[in-house]
Structures are given as structure tokens and as C-alpha cells.
A and B are shown apart, each in its own frame.
Chain A
Amino acid sequence: MRTKQTVLMLCLLAAALPVAAFDLGNIDWKKAAETVQKVQKANADINEEQEIGLGEGVASNLLGAAPLLDNAEVQRYVNRIGRWLTLQTERPNLPWLFGVLDDDDVNAFATPGGNVFITKGLLARMHSEAELAGVLAHEISHVLRKHHLQAIKKGAQAGLLSDLANDVIKQQGADPRLSKLVSAGTEVYARGLDKNDEYEADRMGVVIAARGGYDPYGLPAMLQTLQALNPNDSSLALMFKTHPALGDRLERLDQLMSSAFARLEGQPDLAARFATELGARK
């Protein structure tokens, strides 16, 4: 079946070549075959349903690494903020889900399809709802721009992804190819994204938080707090390894925000609600 497709594509490719190239002896068949492979790979586009399925697999893995914090009030609070923020974006209808992981590491994660997790260790270092909103908005931006999905695609074995795109892999059940892709996907979180993806999520995050009516300086305030932590603390190790230097991130935000956000500086940070909601924990 695949061979048939390849032959067909080679024929189409040949037909597309300039007339002079119809002397078959002149065609570089190796190069043509490579081109076909590239085209096939590029066509292996994942639809939204598959993005969600893959993202749930990765989310399930992350929850295998660190459990959910056992506190429904805190989980619900974070979900309310997060869901409100997603309503200000271009993908409001994804099955957005937010969760606090019961782990002292300082970190946050987003998986394709709209699953966002932050650690208890990060939450404990925040001072206001605007800071929490800023961090969630950064993670939401990764989902909007499909940063992790692209990274997974880039790293995936050729074939695996086109199988998924062609719906060969069943979403449910223990298909070894899907679990392979999911575990490859989970490794992206150990490796980190491209620096530019992180900068982009920062500059989108402050905008999304501002659209939600929050003080837009929540995210930079959080980053500034992290900058003042002891960099040798092991709870920061993975976050530092997988993200650009905090000084660089803050400098870029400073340049972008200094004039554009002056009119939004009066927006609330809801520090009091943050204290009450998290203080309500028994």
C-alpha cells in the first residue's frame, strides 16, 4: 500500500518536473525519493482530536511522575482562573484542564490539547492571583502555539507520526506505537523546548493575563522572584535547565511591556483572594 503511494507520488513529482527533465536518465531518483519522504512527513499533520489524545497520554505520564495535590478547593480555584484565561484566546473550546502537582519542584507544564500543570512548589512562591494567572497564561500559550506538539513531531520516528495522522493508531487501548509516541512526547519535558518558544509564551502570556483583566506584571514578578532563589537548589534544576536564563526573559519582557502596558497598570492583582483561597486549605 505504502509502496503504491510512493510510486504514485514519484509519478506526480516527475510530471511536475520541467519538460527537459523528461529524459528519465537525468532524474536523480535518490533525491526524488527523499523529496517524496519529506512531503509525506510534512503531510503527517495531526488533527485536533489526535492532538488531544496525544496530550492526554502525556498528561497521564506527568501525573505518573507526580501526583495531583489532594485538595479539591485549590484545584478548582486554579481551574477557574485558567479557564477564564482560555476564554480570552483563539482556542477557547479545547477541553482545558488545570492541575496542581503535589511536588516541591518549581515548575509548570503544558501538554498538547490543553492540559496545564503547575507544581505546589511554584504555587507556594507566588504572592497574588495575577502571578498565578501569568504563569498559567504562559503555559496556555504553549498549547495555543502547539509548541510541544511541534517538538514531538520533530523528534518522532518517521512513520510513527504519519501512522497517527492516517488514523492507523487507535486512540484507545494499549497500542505500542501510541505509547511510544507518548513516551517520546514526555521526554520533551525533560529536554525542554526551543528558547524562542519560551520567549513567545512569555510575551503571549502577559497579554492573555491582561486580557483577563489582571495586572499584566504578574508573570514578570514571578520570574523576578525565581531569579532571587538560590540557583543551586535542586527543586529549580529542571526548570532552569529547560528554560532560557531568567535575566534574558525579564529583559525581553521589559522592552516589550514598558510602553505598551502603561494603560493596564491599574488592573487588579487579587492578592487578597489568592491568600483567602489558598488559606482555606485545611
Chain B
Amino acid sequence: MVGRDTCEHRYGDDWAVSRLTGLAVGVMMPAFVVERLDAPAIDRTDPVIAPTGRTAPARTLAIGGRRSLTAIGGRSGLRWRGRHLELGIELSAAGGAPPPIDTRVDGVATPVTDDLTVVDAGALIAVHHRVGRIGGALELYVGGRSIAVPVELPPGFRPTITYADRYGSAVVSPRVRVDAWVSRYITIEATAGYDPLGGGGSIALGFAVHPERYDGT
């Protein structure tokens, strides 16, 4: 009964939507993500150790004009949803074939054949709305990107401890998301984003689990 001090029960405890409403959790499998982005301007020189033990400069250089690439990977995160506002954190990792790159040491050029790795981490703010079993959201994602460029040296050469092959950049991406509620607790989500700083964008397909029915909406 409302107002009884000895009762552990508080008004609404048993039936009301949590005041914090839904925490959508992307779990089990990360979202499948395809990112289109520009590779960084790769042209740097770092010391490597030659077979003779001496230190030699190695210049890693992107060849030609093509810079854009497609990276495929996964994305996961946590999102808190109010009735219309949404906040979240995300992590994604993807790999893709780089533009033609080689590393030149002592006049010997070794082409890079491995994929480069793109790791994004950041936060998002969004507004969302649901009509029936379909929901939609407009998101703004802000984060950082680390691109790891593979280093392949001529035989016998090895990197020094200072050899660096990572490039950092900022990501600011407006996105559109469509949620399909396959049950009252699970959504399949498709997201498309534009990444003007990175020179491309991303699309992602995944699902999320919601502890509260329709996130309390």
C-alpha cells in the first residue's frame, strides 16, 4: 500500500518502466560492418636493423594515386536508451587491402601484401523513435580511428623498437539507423553513416538485446 513505511515495495516498482529505461546491449555477435575510408598518406621513414646489425632507414610509401579502401569487420557496443534520447559507446575493428604500399630499405623494395587494420572507438548520441515493430534513429558518432599499416621488410631486416606503423585520426560520422523489432526484446539493426573526415562511410548490420520491452517506449 502506498505510503506504508515498513513495505519494501515502492510505488511502481513492480510494473513501471525503469526511470533509466532501456540499456540496449549488442552482445553475442558483433555487428557486421563494412567501412569505406581513405588510407592515410603513407610516407614515413623509420630505422630498421639490417642483417649486418647496422641501422638503416626504411621508407614505407604508398604508391600511386589510389587511397580509398574497403575494410570489413565487426562492431559492438553498449547503448542506453531513454524514451527518445540515446547514448552509446562503440568499438569496431575491420581489415582491408591497403592501397599499393612498399617498404624500401637500402634500395630494396618489398611490397606490402597484408591487410591493414582499422580500429574505431567512440561515443554516440542519437534520437530515436519507434512505430510498431520498426524504429529509427539519427545518430552522431564521434571517436578516434587507428589505422595499423602492415610493415613488410626485405629478408633479414627487422624493425627497431621505435618502428611505428599506426596512424590516428578523428571520426565524426552522422548516421541513420533502422531497427526492426523481431521480438519485444531483440532488434535487428541496419546503420549507414557518412564519414567526411575519413573520406567515406560505413554500413553495419547487427542485432541488439534489450532488457526492457521495446526499451520502455
Chains A and B are bound partners: no
Task: Give the A-binding residues of B (Cβ under 8 A).
Answer: none
Task: Give the B-binding residues of A (Cβ under 8 A).
Answer: none
